[in-house]
Amino acid sequence: MSCIGKNIRKIRTIKGFSQTAFANLFDLTRASISAYEEERAEPKMDTTLEIAKYFNIPIEPLLSHEITVNEFARFNFQQAIGGGVENSTTELPIVAPQQWEQFVREGKTDEFQKLSFPAQFLQGEIAVVVNEKINSNFHSGTILLCKKESKPSENGVYLIFDKERASIKNGNAISSVRGKQLYQILQTIQEINSVSSNSVEERLSQLEAKVAQLSKK
């Protein structure tokens, strides 16, 4: 889980919003805000982006750690995405289910399809689509944006490759990574499942278009 729920609570407290008032800003329900703050659910990407834009908070700290009052006061989102950054894009190779065996066997992604997003919204080095080979509570089709690491940190969440299979564990639950590949999960894109198509390529294309549209608001 990211820190978005804790930060929503922090932002509400700083700004003096009730859960209902905060929900109304983003066309949500009070119950949704309650679920986010209690870490029973996380907002979809478009909602997260809207919150970041509205309160001038860059995406990375909003998701990665519990922001402080002073940190919140310093954020200037226009500076974070200014200077032409909104026109640049970042691409990550996608390990889709059909490329799983090739990736596990060879570890090469040069010829894989790429996931493209405005640079300010994307983290990681590789995008892994959750499939039956991954022992996880995430729904099949969820995209994990990951960065390869040599050793885990206590507070991180990791995708651990062990031969042809993988699992997701908290850093404090990992005792050894000898002979295994370790990737820290930096972000997740879960609403990939809400796009009506059986084609991974079409679903990704629609999701990319959604984020690109949001970045121009």
Q: How many CB atoms lie within 10 A of CB 115?
A: 22
What percentage of the chain has pLDDT greater than the value 90? 24
Superfamily name and number for 4-81? lambda repressor-like DNA-binding domains (1.10.260.40)
Phi, psi (deg, nearest 5) at residue 9: -60, -45
Whether this prediction's pTM lies above 0.75 is answered by: no
Orientation angle between helical segments 4-15 and 30-37, nearest 10 degrees = 120
Question: What is the chain's mean pLDDT, rounded?
Answer: 79
- 168 near 134, Cβ under 8 Å? yes
Residue 70's contacts (CB-CB under 8 Å, 6 or more residues apart) are: none
| 67-83 pLDDT per residue, tens | 887 677 666 434 444 44
| 128-154 pLDDT per residue, tens | 988 999 998 888 888 888 999 988 988
Q: Worst-scoring range by mean pLDDT, 40-49, 110-119, 191-200?
A: 191-200
More confident residue, 88 or 9: 9
Rounded CA gap, 36 and 161, in Å? 30
Rounded CA gap, 169 and 176, in Å? 12
Which pLDDT belongs to residue 71? 74
- Annotated domain spans of the chain: 4-81, 87-215
Rounded CA gap, 19 and 21, in Å? 6
